[in-house]
């Protein structure tokens, strides 16, 4: 996670976010200017040069080519690829209920054994076990499974390999011990990997190791052909949209304008199913309970996604998919 910026106003200009000089002109303008200069010098034509609106790391080699339905739209490919990856991880399901709980309701791995808090007598002597002791020290209801950091599918050889592949989209190659650490949270690179594999180019979406990077891209309108625009909640998402919530120190952030580029901790999921009748949204995200998981999100009485129905994940915005 990048350190919090000392800049107190939002949104920041892109020239304030990087140490190197980045022109504020649009990528098309820069490309056309370069084309004109070369044309004068060489007395020949030149095709438009497209440069990313902010620096992009060179992806590491990745031979995987997801297979999608012939004729599928870009929106459909996003959903298909996210779903394929979820199945490759074992199809773990997490239920975000209206009572503020988040429970793993299905996992390919056995539930971790709860760690019992020691019972101590008045004399300070530990007692082995107690019939009155809660089975779950967090007070979660029976059957509400949780995988602590460093456990779950990401700690398996297969999970490590797949998480490393996502990091490759931003030119990073963490080892298996790093993949399980909070400082190498891989949920944003999962989103970046899926969208690149679905065919989105640098004019539509820019990759990043932090969700707040591409959220701010969409908020500030820096891309020539943006695939997404932001909409605050409450609202009802559609399949192919991306839903985002702040977390950590900024968990209860209320204003999209306050999101800092690369500095606001967030989590985002790709929406793969919406059922207004049952008030249920299904989203797939990376690094959810230490796996690629499908989150079944119970909506509030309004039938819309909001930031108060489940305070475990206080949703703040929808990145509306503007593609076919």
Q: What is the pLDDT of residues 42-58, one digit of tens each?
A: 433 444 567 899 999 99
User: Final residue of a domain: which of 53, 72, 96?
Assistant: 53
- Residue 311 falls within a domain, yes or no? yes
Are 33 and 120 in a shared domain?
no
Q: Is the pLDDT of residue 226 over 70?
A: yes
Contact 305, 235 (CB under 8 A): yes
User: Final residue of a domain: which of 9, 34, 53?
Assistant: 53
Contact 1, 185 (CB under 8 A): yes
- Residue 13 falls within a domain, yes or no? no
Are 43 and 80 in a shared domain?
no
Q: Range of 26's domain?
A: 19-53
User: For the whole model, what pTM was predicted?
Assistant: 0.79
- Residue 6 falls within a domain, yes or no? no
User: How far, in Å, CA of 141 to CA of 139, rounded?
Assistant: 6
Mean pLDDT throughout 137-161? Answer: 80
Are 62 and 88 in a shared domain?
yes
User: How far, in Å, CA of 145 to CA of 111, rounded?
Assistant: 6
Higher-confidence position of 117 and 292: 292
Are 180 and 158 in a shared domain?
yes
Higher-confidence position of 3 and 230: 230
User: Final residue of a domain: which of 53, 73, 97?
Assistant: 53
Place of tokens 């002109």: 25
Are 206 and 181 in a shared domain?
yes
Total domains present in the chain: 2
């Amino acid at each position: 996670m990048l350190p919090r910026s000392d800049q107190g106003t939002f949104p920041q200009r892109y020239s304030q976010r990087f140490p190197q000089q980045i022109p504020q002109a649009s990528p098309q303008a820069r490309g056309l200017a370069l084309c004109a200069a070369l044309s004068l010098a060489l007395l020949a034509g030149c095709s438009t040069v497209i440069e990313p609106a902010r620096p992009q790391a060179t992806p590491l080699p990745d031979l995987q080519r997801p297979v999608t339905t012939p004729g599928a739209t870009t929106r459909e490919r996003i959903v298909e690829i996210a779903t394929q990856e979820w199945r490759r991880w074992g199809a773990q399901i997490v239920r975000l209920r209206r009572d503020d709980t988040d429970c793993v309701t299905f996992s390919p791995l056995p539930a971790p054994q709860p760690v019992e808090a020691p019972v101590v007598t008045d004399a300070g002597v530990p007692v082995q076990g107690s019939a009155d002791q809660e089975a779950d020290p967090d007070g979660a209801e029976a059957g509400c499974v949780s995988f602590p950091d460093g456990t779950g599918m990401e700690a398996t050889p297969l999970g490590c390999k797949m998480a490393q592949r996502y990091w490759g989209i931003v030119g990073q190659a963490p080892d298996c011990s790093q993949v399980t650490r909070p400082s190498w949270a891989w949920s944003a690179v999962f989103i970046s990997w899926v969208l690149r594999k679905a065919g989105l180019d640098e004019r539509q979406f820019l990759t990043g190791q932090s969700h707040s990077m591409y959220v701010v891209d969409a908020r500030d309108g820096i891309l020539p052909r943006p695939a997404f625009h932001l909409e605050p909640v409450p609202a009802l998402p559609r399949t192919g949209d991306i839903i985002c919530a702040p977390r950590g120190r900024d968990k209860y952030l209320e204003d999209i304008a306050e999101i800092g580029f690369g500095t606001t901790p967030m989590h985002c999921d790709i929406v793969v199913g919406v059922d207004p009748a049952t008030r249920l949204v299904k989203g797939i995200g990376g690094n959810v309970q230490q796996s690629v998981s499908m989150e079944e999100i119970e909506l509030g009485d309004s039938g819309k996604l909001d930031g108060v129905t489940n305070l475990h994940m206080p949703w703040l915005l929808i990145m509306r998919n503007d593609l076919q």
